Amino acid sequence: MSEKITFTPISYTGWDSLSHLVEEVEKFNVKKILVITDPFLKEIGLTDKVTHPLNEAGYITDVYTDVVPEPPLAVGEKLVSYTREHAFDMVIGIGGGSALDLTKLAGVIAVHEGDVADYLNLTGTKSITKKGLPSILIPTTSGTGSEVTNISVLSLETTKDVVTHDYLLADVAIVDPALTMSLPAKVTAATGIDALTHAIEAYVSKNASPVTDALALQAIRLISQSIRTAVHHGDNKQARIDLSYGSYLAGIAFFNAGVAGVHALAYPLGGQFHIAHGDSNAVLLPYVMGYIRSACEKRMKDILDTMGFSSTHLSQEEASHRCVEELKRLVEDVGIPSSLKGFNIGHDALDSLTEDATKQTRLLARSPMELCKEDIYTIYEAAFEGK
Ligand code: NAD
């Protein structure tokens, strides 16, 4: 058996890696650059860290700030129209997954015909056929891994869908933990658990390979051992560095091995209740893993060990159970509610959540245990009660 492994061509990681921005831009023959970010990041001066050195080097920059968290399709459509109208020759995204996902769309869909909706995975009718504008992605959260994936996630009326193609991969990713120092505890927690979910789902994925295993386990180690400190002591530089590397590695791991049940059930929580992506994953992670553990006990034992707990005296069955308990404890320790009730979701929502999650066949196909509609409902019910 062989696997295709895809990496973003160039990445800079580590403290102060943003200092490489101008030298990378210089490799492209560009003048007019669209910088895509969200209004808060502009307000706190993070965006200036991109525009100032570029302007000093003689580049023209236009800062687009109409980005909102968990961006709806309409926000993507508007940005693509703007990009087409103003004839930019490069796009740079600085922000969380929301800004980065929109940057990918801007760069690629702007050079294609039609609307973003035409290219959605579940309902689109058109295919991406060519590379877009050169792109650089600079994350300011340690979570989504968007800087190294070919996926752009959009919120629809009741769920989410993606545009995905290798042409959406960035030319350059710059993963500078210094940019995450200003993240509030709540966003650090949600995005950090998002990254942990990527690594765990990649590790137990049906498409896992020795390459993705190496990335996923290192990501699990780095994230699980730094997230509490990063949340409760946000000025701890080493915790921010570890979380940043962990999120980056988890991104490459899940891009190549895929995510599965946790994401399939999380998307409708985002779509129907506008719960942040990281929180949606966090509240479901222990319950999905608890439900599927008999299908991946050995791997869950590895995860427990990698999180820093010795499983030497435990059977695989016991270790997988303990792994679920530790994941639940971790979610609680970083201050995220560990039940759907905690997010004010009523029991009457479980049917429609199940309906939408069942449609995520691309994600569910990678689960180590097949999950049918009844299974999905049972998992939501356990997450509702928090048991
Ligand atoms: P986000 O981009 O929505 O940002 C969340 C909040 O954090 C925003 O209010 C933002 O202003 C703030 N923020 C970001 N960086 C900050 C900083 N350094 N200091 C202070 N505040 C900061 O959050 P996210 O979780 O990074 O991204 C979520 C989106 O990414 C969702 O739409 C999700 O579906 C998508 N996603 C994409 C992929 C992918 O592979 N493309 C993977 C997972 C999730």
Query: pLDDT digits over 309-365, tens only?
Result: 999 999 999 999 999 999 999 999 999 999 999 999 999 999 999 999 999 999 999
Confidence class of residue 387 from pLDDT cuts 50, 70 and 90? Answer: confident
For 29-48, the pLDDT digits (tens) are: 999 999 999 999 999 999 99
Nearest CA to 244 out of 386, 111, 133, 96 is that of 96
Q: Write down the residue that tokens 């922000």 correspond to.
A: 95
pLDDT of 160 = 84
Q: Which residues line ligand 1 (CB under 6 A)?
A: 38, 40-41, 46, 69-70, 95-99, 101, 140-141, 143-146, 149, 151-153, 179-180, 182-183, 187, 191, 194, 277-278
Among the atoms of ligand 1, which is closest to the Cα of residue 104? 41
Residue nearest to atom 22 of ligand 1 (CA): 183
Spell out the residues 6+ positions from residue 289 whose beta carbon is closer than 8 angstroms to its own: 200, 204, 262, 300, 323, 324, 327
Mean pLDDT of 109-127: 96
- Residue 33 CA to residue 20 CA, distance in Å, equals 16
How far is the centre of ligand 1, averaged over its atoms, from the C-alpha of 190 (Å)?
9
Q: Which domains does the chain have, with CATH numbers?
A: 10-180 (3.40.50.1970), 185-385 (1.20.1090.10)
pLDDT higher than 80, residue 247: yes
Q: Where are the alpha helices (DSSP H) in the chain?
A: 21-25, 39-43, 48-56, 73-86, 97-109, 185-204, 210-224, 227-232, 237-257, 261-273, 277-292, 297-306, 316-333, 350-358, 361-364, 373-385
Neighbouring CB atoms inside 10 A of 313's CB total 7
H/E segment holding residue 92: strand 90-95
Average pLDDT of the chain?
97
Residue among 187, 259, 265, 273 whose CB has most ligand 1 atoms within 8 A, to mutate: 187
**Given phi > 0 = left and psi -120 to 50 = alpha, else beta, which region is 21?**
alpha
Rounded to two decimals, the ipTM of the complex is 0.99
- How does residue 157 score in pLDDT terms, banded at 50, 70 and 90? confident
**Is there a contact between 301 and 311 (Cβ–Cβ < 8 Å)?**
yes
Q: Would strands 135-139 and 172-175 be described as parallel, antiparallel, or unpaired?
A: parallel
Q: Record the pTM.
A: 0.97
- Give distance in angstroms: CA of 96 to centre of ligand 1: 3
